[in-house]
Amino acid sequence: VKLKRKRNYPKSLPSLPLIGSLLHFMGDTKPHLLFYRLQQKYGSLYSLYMGSDYVVVVNSYLHAKEVLLKKGKIFAGRPRTVTTDLLTRNAKDIAFASYSPIWKYQRKLVHSALSMFGEGSLALEKIICQEATSLCETLSAAQDSSLDMSPELTRAVTNVVCSLCFNSSYQRGDPEFEAMLKYSQGIVDTVAKQSMVDLFPWLQFLPNKELALLKKCVGMRDQFLHQKFKKHKEEFSSDSVNDLMDALLRAKLNAENNNSHILSGQRLTDDYLLMTVADIFGAGVETTTTVLKWTVLYLLHYPKVQQKIQEELDQNLGFSRHPLLSDRQHLPYLEATISEVLRIRPVSPLLIPHEALEDTTIGEYDIPKGAQIVVNLWSIHHDEKEWEKHDEFNPDRFLDEDGNRIYSPSPSFLPFGAGVRVCMGEALAKMEIFLFISWILQRFTLSIPEGQTLPEPEGKFGVVLQVPKFQVKATLREAWK
């Protein structure tokens, strides 16, 4: 990035040559909280150097909407980093790839596959309900004892995306599933968190523990992907396209035959197909599971909220049938609770960094081409001007006086981002969260096992805001005994 003279650039944090503003990052404050606090001194829009990268931090919804919506295309770039390049074979995926014809085409392919097998389709509802049944059986079996719900929630969610991506699923204790859990945790722990190798790329040439772990986990993931890919290729028939992998294979065949012009000469190689499913599979598992875990954690903290959701379920469904997607519109309190979880603990507190593709502006400030833009969703969701008692968990904010749901009581709410880079899985994630939580709460009351303390609602920063480990006791409700 070249800063020109006589421009009105955002106020800059003091920085030292080479190390940039790194001194500010010392200590163990999480970046989204640090960027939130720095507003007091520098205002809601400021800049800093991370290593040698020029970064602009956006903390208000008005600026965020300008970046994501009004100038969405100008800010649709993504910076490259050592760790994400490793994960995505040099940005051949969707999330970490910059704006390009092939990126657009990948989004289009995923979009049409999701609407074919997913969103709103009865098949998908059936798959989710099947997983919910299995989840409830496990909770039943573990009745009244202490249980870590995390692996069970993960398996339920994984099986849903696994059906979508590969038309397959896992039984409890499947070694392939256990391996997947392990490598994915390793990736979440090491990728895209602006850690040292991303700030100072030359560090990758020195021995580095985190990078070694990432490489190992990406290797395991590649093995997993390769195996799925091989099987799909062998059994492929363009007359029976059953999942995202098939849909991508078909698109590649078509592109080879005719419509390659939309890719401006770039070839849709196998790597692009693989990295596209890897994104959807990875995002599909880690984000939704994270929200489910945050929801359970908050239900333990707020038993009254849990009780109110149960009353709403009892009134609308009773006990004679299980929850369906069509019940969503009749369960405003549950929907409000989910929105409040997404507000108070955004899955992706700094989104994924954007990059300015040309010289432009945000508000009255000049932004140079190549600047990285970090949208601090945490600040937007905790803006004191927009959210009364922002730190308090209160689903009622998302309801009017009559208890009807309002989509958003403040424009300062963007859990899935917005614009050209908006999340591709919003509809899918919301269906899953709604069904899993309603199934669980129709049958069980969740509480803290005796002698244990409430888990702190503090997130661990990474590519997603991770939930601490905790145990739960699931008690079968009276009507089900």
CB nearer to ligand PLO: pick between 1 and 220: 220
Query: Closest approach of Cβ 78 to ligand HEM, in Å?
Result: 7
Question: Is 284 among the residues that bind ligand HEM (CB under 6 A)?
Answer: yes
Return d(Cα 94, Cα 280) in angstroms, integer.
Answer: 9
For residues 411-450, which are near ligand HEM according to CB under 6 A? 415-417, 421, 423-425, 428-429
Query: Closest approach of Cβ 431 to ligand HEM, in Å?
Result: 10
Query: Closest approach of Cβ 273 to ligand HEM, in Å?
Result: 14
CB nearer to ligand HEM: pick between 139 and 165: 165
Residue 373: which of 4, 71, 107, 26 has the closest Cα? Answer: 71
Question: Is 341 among the residues that bind ligand PLO (CB under 6 A)?
Answer: no
Residue from 128, 165, 191, 371 binding ligand PLO (CB under 6 A): 191
- The 221-260 contact track toward ligand HEM, x by CB under 6 A, reads ----------------------------------------
For residues 79-138, which are near ligand HEM according to CB under 6 A? 94-95, 107
CB nearer to ligand HEM: pick between 211 and 296: 296
- The 459-478 contact track toward ligand PLO, x by CB under 6 A, reads ----xx--------------
Residue from 273, 291, 297, 373 binding ligand HEM (CB under 6 A): 291
CB nearer to ligand HEM: pick between 123 and 479: 123
Neighbours of 386 (CB within 10 A): 16
Question: Is 334 among the residues that bind ligand PLO (CB under 6 A)?
Answer: no
Contacts of 329 (CB under 8 A, 6+ apart): none
In the numeric block, which tokens belong to residue 414? Answer: 């963007």
For residues 252-311, which are near ligand PLO according to CB under 6 A? 279, 282-283, 286-287
Please give the residue ranges that form the binding site for ligand HEM (CB under 6 A).
68, 94-95, 107, 279-280, 283-284, 287-288, 291, 342, 347-348, 351-352, 415-417, 421, 423-425, 428-429
Please give the residue ranges that form the binding site for ligand PLO (CB under 6 A).
95, 184, 187-188, 191, 279, 282-283, 286-287, 347-348, 352, 463-464
